[in-house]
Structure 1
Amino acid sequence: MIAVSIVSHGHGAMVERLVSQLSAFQEVSKIIVTRNVPESSALQDGERLKIINNSEPEGFGANHAAAFLHCHAEYFCVLNPDIELPTNPFPALIACMEEHAACLSAPLIVAPDGSIQDSMRRFPTPASLVRKAMGSADGRHAATAGQCSFYPEWVAGMFMLFRSADFARLGGFDTRYFLYYEDVDICVRAWQAGLRVVACPAAIAIHDARRSSRRSLRHLLWHVKSMIRYLLRYSGRLPAIPPPKAGGSANSSTQLAGNAPDAVAKPAPHHAQIGQAVGRQQAEKEDHLK
């Protein structure tokens, strides 16, 4: 039912723990682990586990595009390796997707100390980024555990559960971004296409966040470059988000009235078209690293 994609950057022990947790959930039919850098691990290919060993590091979008080629399930889940799942979030997430006819759902993300992280947010705009830099509102939704589901503008990429058909239809993540803003971008494109993104605080996952852009100049430059790309592409062209409406059709391709002018349904591309992102990522890598 669900294929899960995890990219490891030397997170061996964390990934082994996460794979063990996922293996206990009957909804998970396939786990794809991408080793983005060489590492020692006890994990091996099996009936439910696929290991991909990269010859050189790839970006967020390209790694999940390559993993999606091994997805033959109804749902495709993107997970960070530093996620912990003490309880099974998938029944609530799938029920939420069906209720709202959504293409993407996400749980409430909490830190190990129980504090709620800013994983459900409003779209960044030039004005909101200035307010955030000045220490004002940072755009997060004030979600609490167990509250009713709602439509956020975007959800963070540490945990995203897609309908596989809709992930393919959207063309996966845009690999012109590098490590940052891929999650914001795909949510913008989902809303523009008339699809729904739903937050499901009834499901909870733990995330041990370690934000490299706050410590590393290289990551900060990647962050700024992706932010500029996003702002140039979408400033003044962001879609309007409707209020949540329970009991929607189970057909996630239903168009939302009043959305952006380019909200036109497109046929879902074949998995191989998603795989082209891997080639684009390779061609653009030198530019990203400048």
Structure 2
Amino acid sequence: MPDLISVSIVSHGQAELAARLFDDLRAQKPTGIEVILTLNIDEALPFDPDSFPFSVKTIRNASPRGFATNHNAAFELADGNFFCVLNPDIRVTADPFLALIKELRNPAVGAVAPLILDTDGAIEDSARPFPTLSSLVCKALGAEPKRYYEIGDESISPDWIGGMFMLLRRDAFAAVGGFDARYHLYYEDVDLCARLRLAGYDIRLVPSASVVHLARRQSRRDIRYLLWHLCSMTRYILSGTRRKVEKAAAR
């Protein structure tokens, strides 16, 4: 069967951004994609879902749900052998999927991501080592050591990749049970990558593919997002997954 990428996009009052992303996808003419668009709150669409050269499935939530729950629900509707988690505030200026799928041809690789750039072209820190209790304490004290990766031309294997754009093998996502829905927002990507690694899968960042991220960090501007961030961080730090992945890394 030919490859099919199921792209999951969740809009929380971001239909205008989603419309631009849909136009980007149409302009790049990627082969073999379908889009599952989740409207997390009631909003009108500024476009006709049937006007695109790819299938668009729409989910309208009766009440808002978390990041993990929404993407897990989209996965249940997905027909593709690859599953892409994509934020509506991503802009796609060149087809990233060819290079990413090439990396995923290796069955040992469970998830990949392109280089994430901000609107000025600077590289965002979307691929990092796993957070540890000591690294978070140092960060809180303003003494966080450099824990980032050197980016060159070749793909690298970071501990985790950000959920604004990740492409996964369907079988890998299913094997670990998808996202942990107990993470309402934040750290669900860290937790997923940790469980993928514990299951024996590699995680790759592919610099030959890149996209632009328009986001501003909500947790710096809205107390709800700050609380969700703190709750998710605490959940991960106290989790057995964190302890297992640190123990595995120490071997």
Verify same fold: TM over 0.5.
yes
Report matched runs for 1:8-157 at 5 Å: 8-23=11-26, 24-46=28-50, 48-99=55-106, 101-133=108-140, 134-137=142-145, 139-144=147-152, 147-157=153-163
Offset of 1:137 from its aligned partner?
A: 2.9
Using the alignment, how far apart are the partners of 1:9 and 1:236 within structure 2? 33
- Count, aligned residues: 241
Provide the residue aligned with 1:229 in structure 2. Answer: 235
Using the alignment, how far apart are the partners of 1:80 and 1:138 within structure 2? 27
Offset of 1:143 from its aligned partner?
A: 2.1
Question: Is residue 16–residue 46 contact of structure 2 (8 Å, CA) maintained in 1?
Answer: no
Using the alignment, how far apart are the partners of 1:188 and 1:194 within structure 2? 10
Using the alignment, how far apart are the partners of 1:42 and 1:28 within structure 2? 24
- Secondary structure of the corresponding residue to residue 226 of structure 1: helix
1:184 aligns with 2:187: no
Offset of 1:101 from its aligned partner?
A: 3.2
Q: Deviations over 1:78-123 (max 9, x none)?
A: 0001000000000011112225731100011000100110100000
Change (3 A) 1:94 1:180: same
Deviates more, 1:132-141 or 1:27-36: 132-141
Using the alignment, how far apart are the partners of 2:163 and 2:227 within structure 1? 19
Offset of 1:241 from its aligned partner?
A: 5.9
Instruction: Give the counterpart letter for 2:76 in structure 1.
Output: L
Which of 193, 214, 221 lines up with 1:215 in the alignment?
A: 221
What are structure 2's unaligned runs of at least 5 residues? none
Offset of 1:26 from its aligned partner?
A: 2.8
What are structure 1's unaligned runs of at least 5 residues? 243-257, 259-290
Instruction: Give the counterpart letter for 2:11 in structure 1.
Output: S
**Deviation beyond 4 Å, 4+ runs, structure 1:** 239-242
Question: Is residue 84–residue 207 contact of structure 1 (8 Å, CA) maintained in 2?
Answer: yes
Using the alignment, how far apart are the partners of 1:43 and 1:50 within structure 2? 13
Normalising by structure 1, we get a TM-score of 0.78
Normalising by structure 2, we get a TM-score of 0.90
Identity, % of aligned positions: 44
Greater fraction of residues in strand: 2
Instruction: Give the counterpart letter for 1:85 in structure 2.
Output: V
Offset of 1:182 from its aligned partner?
A: 0.3
Change (3 A) 1:217 1:91: same
Q: Deviations over 1:3-52 (max 9, x none)?
A: 10000011111101111222343334211111111112133443611111
- Secondary structure of the corresponding residue to residue 115 of structure 2: strand
Deviates more, 1:62-71 or 1:153-162: 62-71
- Secondary structure of the corresponding residue to residue 52 of structure 1: strand
